[in-house]
Structure 1
Amino acid sequence: MDRTYIEKHANQLIFFLAIVIATFVTAVAVWKVQTVAAAERQEHLSQEVLRFHVLANSDSKRDQELKVKVRDAVLDWMEEALPQGMDVEQTTRWVREHTDELEEISKQTLEENGADDTVSAAVSTCYFPDKTYGDVTFPAGNYEALRIEIGNAKGHNWWCVLYPNLCFLDTTNAVVPDEGKKKLKNVLTEEEYSQITAESEFKIKWFFWGDDK
């Protein structure tokens, strides 16, 4: 075989491999940049919201019904008692200062419904997976949350966001009012807000109430 032919094709192969390696290195670099940026967005978002998490004793129908009753009682009380106009730090501090009342309300609700499960309420840092409703996605990561645990806290949980005052509902509910979106947009940069909004088949309602999700 002609030596010139071999050298020509060897050079083509080397050139092709160089392109492949350069493309791979570039892709890895872009991925790293995007990963770091996503982590920074999640970290900032986590500092601007306070989530609410209720964990049922188990997945039995009875325990899930009790979870909803506790949720409703707690949100009823907080809607009346929680001062308006506070920022996320003030809201978190207020909730921490009233965990005893939240536990008592939860226990009374259980007792009124014939249950004697233990209840604990605390503000703690919890890991949440990605969650998308409507056109808003909360990326996976650690968030501060008011966490109410009923009994063994092994059942399906329910969550929403206490600050800004919004709770997610399922697909049967209305889309997000414009004024609701502004509440979240006001505490994020324009880029961050655009990054967490996306099209979805789900619906969202910005409200103080949530559904069993």
Structure 2
Amino acid sequence: MEKRRNLIMAALAVMISLMLTACVWRTETVSAKVEKTQEHMAEEVLRFHVLANSDSKEDQNLKMKVKDTVVSWMEEEMDTKSLAQTKAFIRSHLPQIEALAEETIQKEGYSYPVWASLEWTVFPEKTYGDITFPAGTYEALRIQIGEAKGHNWWCVLYPSLCFIDSVHAVVPEKGKKQLEHVLTEEEYEMVTATSKFKIKWFFFGS
């Protein structure tokens, strides 16, 4: 009886060991796929990042005023058809974008300095509407207000994924179609599913 019990315990230990090994292998495989997807997305998108001076209500409201001014201006002035064109437009208009932000800040009664730049920046995992961007390094138009230590606002300039309706967080279908075009079918399915990005990759990755 004891011998049989020992055999059962040994078999269970082997099964648990095999399951743990499979989980570790799958996690490593999924992690590699997430990293590959992030790197691919970083080659195809340009993000927009506005950093508030602080997390005070006033500074957060100011951040949104600056965002509204710059986004409205870009909607009128920027007519680009590709990622390269979008980057070129931003680079050539950085002084104007910075001036618009500074003018808005002064109109609201503040004297914070402001900087506009196009640079590579590390982002945490972010969900925007129904699209999840994995954590990693992306190029972005960054507007930093004052000490730039407050919560930030972000969207995607190319493809154009900035919210049409900020209340209901609906991203433009045209921008989603552009993103779908540059990603593989599997990548697009992963980043547009409703569950968490890492969980999606765990269940769909193989």
Q: TM tier, shorter chain?
A: 0.7 to 0.9
Q: TM-score, normalised by structure 1?
A: 0.81
Pairs within 5 Å for 1:41-190: 41-85=37-81, 87-168=82-163, 172-173=167-168, 175-176=170-171, 178-190=173-185
* Structure 2 letter corresponding to 1:53: H
For 1:100 and 1:34, the matched residues in 2 are separated by: 42
Give 1:18 deviation, angstroms.
1.5
**Closer/same/farther in 2, CA of residues 169 and 177 from structure 1, 3 Å limit:** closer
Residues 51, 144 of structure 1: 8 Å contact kept? yes
**Closer/same/farther in 2, CA of residues 151 and 11 from structure 1, 3 Å limit:** same
For 1:17 and 1:100, the matched residues in 2 are separated by: 65
Give 1:57 deviation, angstroms.
1.4
Tell me the residue number matched to 1:208: none
**Closer/same/farther in 2, CA of residues 177 and 39 from structure 1, 3 Å limit:** same
* Structure 2 letter corresponding to 1:11: L
Which of 1 and 2 has higher RCO (CA within 8 Å, sep 6+)? 2
Q: Secondary structure, in 3 states, of the residue corresponding to 1:114?
A: coil
Residues 137, 197 of structure 1: 8 Å contact kept? yes
Residues 1:17 and 2:33 aligned together: no
Residues 160, 172 of structure 2: 8 Å contact kept? no
For 1:10 and 1:60, the matched residues in 2 are separated by: 64
Give 1:189 deviation, angstroms.
0.9
Give 1:176 deviation, angstroms.
4.8
Q: TM-score, normalised by structure 2?
A: 0.83
Deviations 1:102-149 (A, max 9, x none): 112211222233322111111122222222244321122221111101
Larger radius of gyration: 1
Deviations 1:60-104 (A, max 9, x none): 33322322222122122222332321x223322331232222112
* Structure 1 letter corresponding to 2:20: F
* Structure 2 letter corresponding to 1:49: V
RMSD: 2.3
For 1:170 and 1:163, the matched residues in 2 are separated by: 18
For 2:57 and 2:173, the matched residues in 1 are separated by: 36
Give 1:37 deviation, angstroms.
0.6
User: Which structure dedicates a bigger proportion of its chain to helix?
Assistant: 2
**Closer/same/farther in 2, CA of residues 69 and 50 from structure 1, 3 Å limit:** same
Give 1:52 deviation, angstroms.
0.6
